[in-house]
Amino acid sequence: MKAAVLVFPGSNCDRDLAVAFRQAGFQVEMVWHKETSLPNGIDIVGVPGGFSFGDYLRCGAIAARSPIVSALKSHVEKGGYAIGICNGFQVLLETGLLPGALMRNAGLKFICRTVDLEVVTAKSDFTRGYNAGTTVAYPVAHHDGNYQATDDIRKALKGEDRIAFRYTEGINGSVDNIAGILSENRRVLGLMPHPERAAELTLGLTDGEAMFRTLAGAAVDA
Amino acid sequence: MKARVHIMLKTGVLDPQGEAVRHALGSLGFGGVEGVRQGKVIELDLTETDPKKAEAEVTAMCDALLANTVIERYEVELL
């Protein structure tokens, strides 16, 4: 099982994500944004948190047009797994691989704390390690995590069971308290909270570990 | 030739920053402000000299990068 973690100027959760993947048994390759292809045999691509390109223009906008993201798109089109966390979620929305947009938090403040999330669906290789309806604790650290989407997209996300995580209480103005969503084929997850910062006891939180463990299992089966 | 792109949030999209500016204006005593929307202006220096071609080019740039058409609308002005 192999994971690639993309690295942009301004990424700052890339190494944390690599550690979480490695702990789950993945072999990890770090891939610089100027590369035009992914290494051979990659099962999952991780788009990490941070402030890629200084959040210039819009969060994730410049990163979404970098050479490596074309390779990410074809990986996803071929049915490969991808996860975008925080700034990585913003990048996935800017590429159009996931629907909607993330805007400035409704309270205008940067929010940096651990939050409770409801696991809305267990029907994905990201969330299979949890029971739907249970609560997990992941940290958030963002200024632009206010998820917005048209009524049609919201209906589709609900109807197709593609809301992966919801904040148990509103923190940033997101519609339907959405914290993370899945793609139509359920192999791409974008979320604002950080499972990789909750994946070992040393960090004080372990709820994120199950996500990487089930992904490793899925990669073996694939 | 120069072009100026005006980017604004679409009608109906909540603008938390605009709201904050409105509140700040209120607290300074400017009571008559019913709404504030904040956008951005991007100026481009182009080598193209044909206005029609320039407009088409800048429009393509807006769709590809400059605006997020999920939440934003834009207007291209040639100078």
Q: What is the per-residue pLDDT across B2-56, written as a single tens digit (0 to 9) for each?
A: 999 999 999 988 888 899 999 999 999 998 999 999 999 999 999 999 999 999 9
pLDDT over 70 for what percent of chain A? 99
Residues of A within 8 A of B14 (CB-CB) are 103, 106, 148, 173
Which pLDDT band, with edges at 50, 70 and 90, does A220 fall under? Answer: confident
Confidence (pLDDT) at B12:
86
Point out the catalytic residue in the list A86, A94, A142, A209. A86
Q: Which of residues A126 and A219 earns the better pLDDT score?
A: A126
How far off is chain B from A156, nearest CA to CA, in Å?
16
How far off is chain A from B20, nearest CA to CA, in Å?
8
> Hey, what amino acid is at B4?
R
Q: Does B71 touch chain A (CB under 8 A)?
A: yes
Confidence (pLDDT) at B16:
87
Do residues A93 and A188 touch, judged by C-beta distance below 8 A? no
How far apart are the C-alpha atoms of B14 and A103, rounded to whole Å? 9
Residue A205 per-residue DSSP state: B
Angle between helices A67-77 and A87-95 in degrees, nearest 10: 70
Instruction: Say whether B16 and A58 touch across the interface (CB within 8 A).
Output: no
Point out the catalytic residue in the list A13, A75, A194, A209. A194
| CATH code of the domain covering residue A207 | 3.40.50.880
Beta B2-9 vs B40-45: how paired, if at all?
A: antiparallel
Which pLDDT band, with edges at 50, 70 and 90, does A222 fall under? Answer: low
- Catalytic annotation on A194? yes
Other beta carbons less than 10 A from residue A13's beta carbon:
22
Which pLDDT band, with edges at 50, 70 and 90, does A18 fall under? Answer: very high
Which of B64, B65, B70 shows the shortest C-beta gap to A101? B70
Nearest CA in chain B to A105: B16
Q: What is the per-residue pLDDT across A48-65, written as a single tens digit (0 to 9) for each?
A: 999 999 999 999 999 999
* Number of structural domains in chain A: 1
Supply the pTM of this predicted model. Answer: 0.94
Asked whether this complex has an ipTM greater than 0.95, the answer is no
Structural domain range at position A27: 2-221
Which pLDDT band, with edges at 50, 70 and 90, does A101 fall under? Answer: very high
Domains plus CATH for chain B?
2-78 (3.30.1280.10)
- Catalytic annotation on A59? no
| Cα–Cα distance list, A126 to A93, A136, B2 (Å) | 18, 13, 48
Per DSSP, the three-state class of A57 is coil
Q: Does B65 touch chain A (CB under 8 A)?
A: yes
Average pLDDT of chain A to the nearest whole number: 96
Do residues A24 and A60 touch, judged by C-beta distance below 8 A? no
> Residue A136's beta-bridge partner residues?
A117
How far apart are the C-alpha atoms of B56 and A219, rounded to whole Å? 45
Q: What is the per-residue pLDDT across A158-182, written as a single tens digit (0 to 9) for each?
A: 999 999 999 999 999 999 999 999 9
Residue B28 Rama label (left phi>0; alpha psi -120 to 50; beta): alpha
Q: Does B20 touch chain A (CB under 8 A)?
A: yes
